[in-house]
Amino acid sequence: MKFDSFAFISFCALAVASLRLVKPGMLRLLLVVMLNFVFVASFFDSLRQALPLAGFVMAGYAAVVLSSRIGASLPLIGVVILIFAWLKRYDFLAFLPPLHFLYVVVGLSYILFRVLHLVIDVGQKAIPRPGFISYLAYVLFFPTFVSGPIQRYEDFDGQVSSPVAPGTTHELYMACQRIIRGMALIGFVTVLTHFLFERIQLRFYGALAASTFSFSTFALLCAAASLFAVHLYLNFGGYMDIVIGVGRLAGLALPENFNRPYLSRNFLEFWSRWHITLSEWFKFYLFNPLLRLMAQKWRAPSQMPYLAVLGFFVTFTVMGIWHGSTRIFLAYGLILGSGISLNKLYQVQMTAWLGKKGYKVLAGRSWYGHLCRGLTLAYFALSIVCLWIDASHAQVLSRFRGMALVFIAFAALSALTAVLSFAIERLTARLSNVPPWMPSLSDRVLPAWTAIQIFLVAVAIFSVDSNSPEFVYKVF
Amino acid sequence: MTDRDAIRTRLNGVFQEIFDDESIQISDAMTADDIEEWDSLSHITLVLTVEREFGIKLKAAEVGSLADVGAMIDLIGSRTGK
């Protein structure tokens, strides 16, 4: 079921109405499970295709039950991860025989996060073991099934088990406005960005084949990397708008996944603003336990910052590898891990050289902020080249001349983004400086903008329904 | 002095030690946003020191979701039976 389709809008209308009408209790949980099944079933052409996913969900519940009895043991967590990696056909498990039929793994990665959260927290007695119906309602919850956000079980259960607040007219309007914005982004704006990106990507491949190191290769790499970063943000952000808006209409508050990531001034801050629930999950279940383990082993306080550097490296490398089963995603993980640990190391060294106060003064300077923002966003845009480049072209970039090209593109994109950041800040300051008697910009613009978005959604649904590209994060 | 006050006094000492600042006076509503040095790194140092000081072990979910100092005091109180 595509998010910008008539079927999805109809399904959501029915789901929201029924969730609002049915009182909390077993009947409501069964309703959620039924809605989940209808939504999930729309991604499969046959029952056979769904068997691996169904099997993983059942194995996940068995692991949750087992952990409630024996505790959250590492072997148990390892077995769940191994089944996931085997179904996703990770390279390192290539020696294991595959399933000899075609199957679909949509949503599997996010089911893994929910299952591991339950296995660990139920095993540590931090939350009670959910019943089977509650478990199905949670792990397959239809708004968050495809790509999150990763909601915590206690948060989900608390909301589904409580009476729905009626919500003010303004809140319901804002929820609808958000769904419309998301649909306009998914169904129209990112159709355009995807169209443009594909053309630049093809030209970049052509230029790379002709010469690894030329001005056109450099310019096309910068353009493709920047455009894909913008496309990914609009695409993922649009998806989140729809998911969170539908949740709010149904009276359920889902966690936000983005908080204006383009404002970030360092890599650590970026990951607290981008795909927030994924970063939080990794913080809870990998970074924190790992750092705790290392800190208990090496107790000297002076070593803590360096242990954090190592902790960040491991965490972000694993996060990168989670995105895909091939070697290119291992490279993506290592690039993310290196970026964030170098960033942390830089902060530690600068604090040592300038002192806490001196570093704070430097970080407060406007030019320094724009420069850091440029470096952060350029590094991110170039690291996610791993998400779109194919293996043969990635191999060309990994050679010496290719790496040199990437470094020059990084320097140029950083400088360009820093200048753009400065220009936008100046322009925003000028625009916000309107006389008090004039209505604010958002009051004037929001209704008109909403009307334009409704038009775009209508165009998307009734004319180019089948042309919209797949939601980017659906494949991870 | 109530049990909660006693925990708060001991916890205040932990905060002063971890953040190397004797002027820190914790309050229930205080969060990581109120202390500049309180990042993911110092949070783990804080958790380990709290565990040592009060003889408790915090769970993964508790380490990650402690919203403010008040929640931390309540958690310590529930674990130490005070």
d(CA A440, CA A445): 9
Say if the Cβ atoms of A308 and B41 lie within 8 Å: yes
User: Using a CB-CB distance cutoff of 8 angstroms, which residues of chain A are in contact with residue B56?
Assistant: none
pLDDT for res A312: 92
> How close is the nearest chain A Cα to the Cα of B15, in Å?
14
- The C-alpha atoms of residue A34 and residue A230 are separated, in whole angstroms, by 36
Cβ of B64 and A121 within 8 Å?
A: no
Q: What distance in Å separates residue A312's CA from the closest CA in chain B?
A: 10
With an 8 Å Cβ cutoff, are B60 and A285 in contact? yes
pLDDT digits (tens, 9 = 90+) for A15-34: 999 999 998 889 999 999 99
Per-residue pLDDT at A203 exceeds 70: yes
Q: How far is B2 from chain A (nearest CA, A)?
A: 27
Nearest to B60 among A121, A301, A304 (CB): A121
pTM across the whole model: 0.90
Length of chain B: 82
Return the residue of A nearest to B65 by Cα. A284
Q: Each residue's pLDDT tens digit in chain B (82 positions)?
A: 678 888 999 999 999 988 888 888 999 889 888 887 788 778 888 888 898 889 898 898 888 888 789 989 999 998 887 5
Q: Where in chain B are the domains?
A: 3-80
How much is the ipTM here?
A: 0.85
pLDDT tens digits for A366-390?
999 999 999 999 999 999 999 999 9
Residue A438's pLDDT is 61
Q: In terms of pLDDT, which residue wins out, A5 or A147?
A: A147
Q: Mind listing the pLDDT tens digit for each residue in A45-70? A: 999 999 999 999 999 999 999 999 99
Which residues does A contribute to its contact with B (CB < 8 Å)?
Answer: 120-121, 124-127, 152, 280, 283-285, 287-289, 291-292, 295-296, 301, 304-305, 308, 356, 360
Pair A276, A257: CB distance under 8 Å: yes
Nearest-by-Cβ selection for A288 from B36, B37, B64: B64
- Angle at alpha carbon of residue A193, lines to A187 and A194, rounded to 5°: 80
A355 contacts in chain B (CB < 8 Å): none
Domain spans in chain A, listed from the N-terminal domain onward: 24-162, 172-431
Residues 6+ apart with CB under 8 A from A451: none
Q: What is the pLDDT of residues A299-309, one digit of tens each?
A: 777 788 888 88
Q: Which pLDDT belongs to residue A5?
A: 80
How distant, in Å, are the alpha carbons of A55, A64, A233, B7, B34 from that of B27?
49, 37, 38, 12, 10
Beta carbons within 8 Å of A297's beta carbon, 6+ residues apart: none
Å from B37 to nearest chain A CA? 10
Give the DSSP letter of residue A106: T
**How far from each other are the two terminal CA atoms of chain B, in whole angstroms?**
12
Q: How far is B1 from chain A (nearest CA, A)?
A: 30
B39 to chain A: nearest residue by CA? Answer: A268
Q: Which of A120, A127, A295 sits opposite B45 (nearest CB)?
A: A295
Whether residue A89 contacts residue A52, with contact meaning beta carbons closer than 8 Å, is answered with no
Instruction: Looking at the structure, give the CATH architecture of the domain made up of residues B3-80.
Output: Orthogonal Bundle (1.10)
Distance CA B44, CA B52 (A): 12
d(CA B41, CA B63): 12
In whole angstroms, how far apart are CA A70 and each of A77, A293, B63? 12, 21, 22
- Residue of higher predicted confidence among A179 and A296: A179
Chain segment A297-355, per-residue pLDDT in tens: 887 777 888 888 899 999 999 998 888 878 898 899 999 999 999 998 999 899 889 98
Q: What is the pLDDT of residue A326?
A: 81
CA distances to A223, A287, A340, A414, B18 from A344, rounded to whole Å, are 28, 14, 6, 19, 19
**Residue A385: what pLDDT?**
96
Cα separation, A205 vs A35, in Å, equals 43
Examine the pLDDT at A442 and tell me if it is beyond 70: no
- Among candidates A287, A304, A356 on the partner chain, residue whose Cβ is nearest the Cβ of B45: A304
The amino acid present at A272, given as its one-letter code, is S
